[in-house]
Amino acid sequence: MAKTKIPKSKQTSFGVPKARGLFSPQERKNPKVKMILILGSFVLFFGALVSIAPIIWMVLGSFKTPAEIYSVPQSYLPQDIQWGNYVEAFRLVPLLRYLLNSLIICTGVVAAQLLFCSMAAYSISKLRVKFAGGILLLFMTSLMVPFEVLIIPLYLISKNFPLGPGFPGVNMINTYWAIILPAIFSAFGILILKDFYDSIPNELLYAARIDGCGEVRVFLRFIMPMTRPIMSILAIFSFVTTWNSFFWPLVVLNNPDYYPLVLGVQKLVDMGEPWNVVLAALVLSTLPSVLLLMFFQRTIIRGIAYTGIYG
């Protein structure tokens, strides 16, 4: 029997037929319902406008002269575009250096988190490690702890990081390690990956093992490629979280050479520069996230839909 193909227009990213809305096709022809729908779309577009208006306002502001910015009847469009604001922002603080720092930190966190979390999830889900359920529950308790509780002991630990018995403690303050290491473990990631692995049939792995694969090779050659969609979701989420993180870097870094972009921009703001320069820096720090959303919007939206039930 031929497989019935779902038309492209009816597909979501999961290949499940799209759900219909509240109104039936018959009801949609009703003029009253039509009015409601038009009104609803206006509400939606107004909401979208409210969402992006501040961002557009920020971009406009970053091109204004100081006189325009501080004029009391607002000048809405910049008279002529001031690229000098951006040049000034780059001159005041080493934004490229901050960008590089952010990239190093995010790459380290994402790579390590994907590797270690998927290894742990594989062990819990497929290798049936002892006390798997208990260990998962233990990991999940880390989601309960507010960061404010951890920040003081974490600060002391990074000040005097124990390498092992017999070694002197290492001071990790003002290093990338202080930010990367605490961010690697993610109970949320382990949970999602474990659920995903549970849906992979064991027979596939048996087949690989019979063919002589060790567990490491099964993991690298089968599990990793098979779970690419969920891995990409997790990678983007952990990237965005790390990129946006502010509290912990603020505590643990005080050498400007190691500032991530977000912290560096905040330091520029704290210097008390005029708003047009500050806004230029803000635009620059927003740009990577906007680009990320543009290029990976499908993955991000799918990820939110997939992880939504987890929250």
Partner 1 sequence: MSKAYKPFSIYDDDEEKKPVESPSDLSHLSEDNLSLEIEDGPTTEYVKAREDLLKQLGLDKADGSDTPKSSKSIPSETLENAPFLQGQVEQSVEERAKSIIQDRRETGKIRDRRKIASIFDKPIEPDKAITPGRARWHPLSYRAQSFWFLFPALILFVLFYLYPMVKGFQISLTHYSPLGDSVSVGWDNYQRAFQDSFFWQTVVNAVAFTLASIIIGFWPPIILSILLNEMTRGKGLLKVLYLLPFVIPAVPAANLWRWMFDDGFGVLNSILQWSTGEPNLQVGWLSDPRWALLSIVAMFVWKNIGWFMLIYYASLQNLPEELYEAAELDGAPITKKLINITIPYLMPVVQVLLIIQVLTTFQIFTEVYVMTNGGPMHSTEVIGTYIYKTAFGAMDLGYASAMAMLMFGALLLFSVIRLYQLKQVTR
Which residues, numbered 4-63, are part of the site for partner 1 (CB under 8 A)? 12, 16, 18-24, 27, 33, 37, 40-41, 43-45, 47-48, 50-52, 54-55, 57-58, 61
Cβ-based nearer residue to partner 1, 107 or 160: 160
Rounded Cα distance, 125 and 127, in Å: 6
Ranges within 172-191 binding partner 1 (CB under 8 A) = 181-182, 184-185, 187, 190-191
Nearest to 125 by CA among 195, 226, 205: 195
Asked if 157 touches partner 1 (CB under 8 A), the answer is: yes
φ and ψ at 20, to 5 degrees? Answer: -85, 165
Question: How many Å separate Cα 80 from the centre of its chain?
Answer: 35
Beta bridge partners of 11: 17
Cβ-based nearer residue to partner 1, 59 or 84: 59
Q: Which two tokens stand for residue 224?
A: 């990793």
Cβ 2 to partner 1, closest distance in Å?
Answer: 24
Asked if 95 touches partner 1 (CB under 8 A), the answer is: no
Rounded Cα distance, 219 and 122, in Å: 8
Asked if 247 touches partner 1 (CB under 8 A), the answer is: yes
Ranges within 112-151 binding partner 1 (CB under 8 A) = 115-117, 119-120, 122-124, 127-130, 135-151
Cβ 107 to partner 1, closest distance in Å?
Answer: 17
Rounded Cα distance, 206 and 209, in Å: 5
Size of the site for partner 1 (CB under 8 A): 114
Rounded Cα distance, 285 and 300, in Å: 19
